[in-house]
């Protein structure tokens, strides 16, 4: 119960506007502790009252003037809230809305799906946060992607075993350049090593099997779906350049340009991965079987490490990893 109060208390900060304008188009109006809840003919007064009482109990309607609306499309309840300008672009509030939608579904609407609409002061939708259920686990998604894309993702997560007997929630959104797959990880999660490697491999699988070759980012998130670590990729002249949020965008760009200039990225399919531990950059490259034992390639790796250090990373040490197609290290060539 305390966890529910925490989430509701956080999400209540979203609704900071009192909507003004043509009220008669918004349905019937009920007042709860200073807040106004409109509801349309698609829902019953009993459902609206149950929602209003819940919002009071969990301090969403807290005595300050706020405006919300309850509607329904098919089997999905739509909770519409007036927000301050710009909050629809804030990842933190989007994550809280995902959690809030689940709270409403579980505690007010008997498990029925709930979507949250961020609205302007005329209750015009700016962003929708909806979800699909897959045997208890959920794919939440915003209106930056389609329901079909969210459905394909959920079906793939079931097929791949990611959605298992453990209840999980993921969030799918899209920027101008990439699909964002956000997942909650346990407290104390170690972002190094295996999780980062597995995420990098998973990016390729999601791109190929779900998003028709589109770019994908995987975001490791806390319990409120706020990102703290990212694994992403870029296509560079036919090659796949993967990287983590331990490095910045300028470094990724410079590395890509360097690999094109030396004809490493030459139009053929190749995969590399860049991250950083302390002051040392880690450059991982997928190689064919047996290469890790060939002296010629080991010598070339030493030269590559020196050139990367001098020409891309400002003299910082660079470790080169020869990897299999799952980005598991076969051989490490430490910085010279």
Range name among 19-28, 174-183, 301-310 with the lowest pLDDT average? 19-28
Residue 11 pLDDT more than 60?
no
Euclidean distance between CA atoms 280 and 294, whole angstroms = 25
- The percentage of residues in the chain with a pLDDT greater than 70, rounded to a whole number, is 91
Same domain? For 185 and 222 the reply is yes
Residue 17 has pLDDT above 60, yes or no: no
**271 and 226 fall within a common domain:** no
Same domain? For 214 and 254 the reply is no
Question: Where is average pLDDT lowest: 35-44, 82-91, 151-160, 283-292?
Answer: 82-91
Cβ pair 99, 84 in contact under 8 A: no
End-of-domain residue from the set 69, 97, 131: 131
Percentage of residues of the chain with pLDDT beyond 90 = 65
Q: Are residues 60 and 105 in the same domain?
A: yes
> How many CB atoms lie under 10 A from the CB of residue 278?
8
Contacts of 145 (CB under 8 A, 6+ apart): 172, 173, 174, 179
Q: What is the spatial distance between Cα 181 and Cα 210, in angstroms, rounded to a whole number?
A: 12
- Across the chain, mean pLDDT equals 88
The secondary structure of residue 166, as a DSSP letter, is S
The token duo for 284 is 């991982």
Counting the structural domains of the chain, the total is: 3
Mean pLDDT across the stretch 262-288?
93
Are 160 and 59 in a shared domain?
no
DSSP string, 85-125: TTGGG-HHHHHHHHHHHHHHHHHTSTT--EEEEEE-TT--E
pLDDT tens for residues 117-135? 999 888 889 999 999 999 8
Together in a domain, 223 and 241: no
Mean pLDDT of 179-187: 90
User: CB 170: neighbour CB atoms within 10 A?
Assistant: 25
Range of the domain at 193: 135-232
Sole residue written with tokens 């965008």: 249
Of residues 184 and 18, more confidently modeled: 184
Are 224 and 302 in the same domain? Answer: no
Instruction: Residue 60: count other Cβ atoms within 10 Å of its Cβ.
Output: 24
| 11 and 78 co-located in one domain | yes
Domain boundary among 131, 147, 177: 131
Paired tokens of 73:
């499309």
Q: Give me the CATH number covering residue 153.
A: 3.30.300
pLDDT for 2: 43
Place of tokens 């990880």: 185
Q: Decide: helix, strand or coil at residue 294.
A: coil
Q: Closest Cα partner for 131 from 156, 157, 160, 101? A: 101
Beta bridge partners, 29, equal 38
Is the same domain home to 8 and 79?
A: yes
Closest CA to 197 of 273, 308, 270: 273
Task: Let me know how many helices (H) and strands (E) the chain has, helices first.
Answer: 7, 16
Angle, vertex CA 236, rays to CA 260 and CA 145, nearest 5: 170
DSSP labels for 202-255? HHHHHHHHTSTT--EEEEEE-TT--EEEEEEEEEETTEEEEEETTS-HHHHHHH
Residues 74 and 190 in one domain: no
CA distance 189 to 103: 25
Confidence of residue 173 (pLDDT cuts 50, 70, 90): very high
| pLDDT value for 202 | 94
Please identify, among 176, 207, 232, the residue that sits at the C-terminal boundary of a domain.
Answer: 232
Average pLDDT value for residue range 76-99: 84
What number is the average pLDDT over the span 156-184?
Answer: 93
Quick one: 214 and 287 in the same domain?
Answer: no
Quote the pLDDT of residue 185: 86
Q: Are 184 and 295 in the same domain? A: no
Please give the pLDDT value at position 310. 96
Question: Which segment of 8-22, 132-146, 229-243 scores lowest on mean pLDDT?
Answer: 8-22
pLDDT of residue 6: 43
At residue 23, the pLDDT reads: 52
Q: Express each pLDDT in 59-76 by its tens digit.
A: 888 888 888 999 999 999
Burial of 20 (0-12, 13-18, 19+ CB in 10 A): exposed
Which element (helix H / strand E) includes 312? none
Residue 175 Cα to chain centre, angstroms: 10
Is the per-residue pLDDT at 9 higher than 60?
Answer: no
């Amino acid at each position: 119960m305390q966890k529910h109060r925490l989430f509701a208390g956080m999400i209540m900060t979203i609704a900071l506007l009192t909507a003004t304008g043509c009220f008669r188009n918004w349905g019937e109006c009920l007042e709860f502790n200073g807040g106004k809840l409109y509801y349309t003919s698609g829902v019953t007064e009993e459902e609206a009252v149950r929602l209003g009482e819940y919002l009071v109990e969990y301090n969403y309607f807290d005595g300050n003037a706020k405006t919300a609306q309850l509607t329904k499309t098919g089997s999905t309840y739509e909770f519409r809230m007036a927000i301050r300008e710009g909050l629809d672009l804030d990842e933190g509030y989007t994550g809280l809305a995902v959690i809030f939608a689940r709270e409403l579904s579980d505690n007010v609407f008997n498990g029925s799906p709930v979507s949250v609409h961020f609205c302007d002061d005329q209750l015009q939708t700016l962003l929708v946060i909806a979800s699909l259920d897959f045997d208890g686990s959920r794919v939440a998604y915003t209106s930056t992607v389609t329901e079909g894309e969210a459905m394909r993702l959920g079906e793939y997560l079931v097929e791949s075993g990611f959605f298992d007997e453990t209840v999980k929630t993921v969030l799918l959104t899209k920027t101008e350049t990439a699909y964002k797959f956000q997942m909650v990880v346990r407290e104390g999660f170690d972002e190094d090593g295996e999780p980062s490697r597995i995420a990098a491999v998973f990016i390729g699988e999601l791109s190929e099997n779900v998003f028709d070759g589109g770019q994908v980012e995987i975001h490791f998130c806390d319990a409120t779906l706020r990102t703290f670590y990212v694994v992403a990729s870029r296509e560079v002249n036919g090659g796949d350049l993967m990287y983590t949020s331990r490095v910045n965008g300028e470094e990724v760009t410079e590395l890509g340009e360097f690999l094109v200039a030396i004809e490493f990225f030459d139009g053929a399919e190749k995969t590399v991965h860049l991250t950083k531990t302390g002051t040392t950059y880690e450059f991982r490259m997928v190689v064919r079987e047996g290469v890790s034992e060939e002296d010629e390639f080991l010598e070339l790796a030493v030269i590559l490490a020196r050139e990367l250090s001098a020409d891309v990373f400002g003299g910082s040490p660079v470790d080169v990893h020869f990897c299999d197609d799952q980005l598991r290290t076969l051989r490490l060539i430490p910085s010279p």
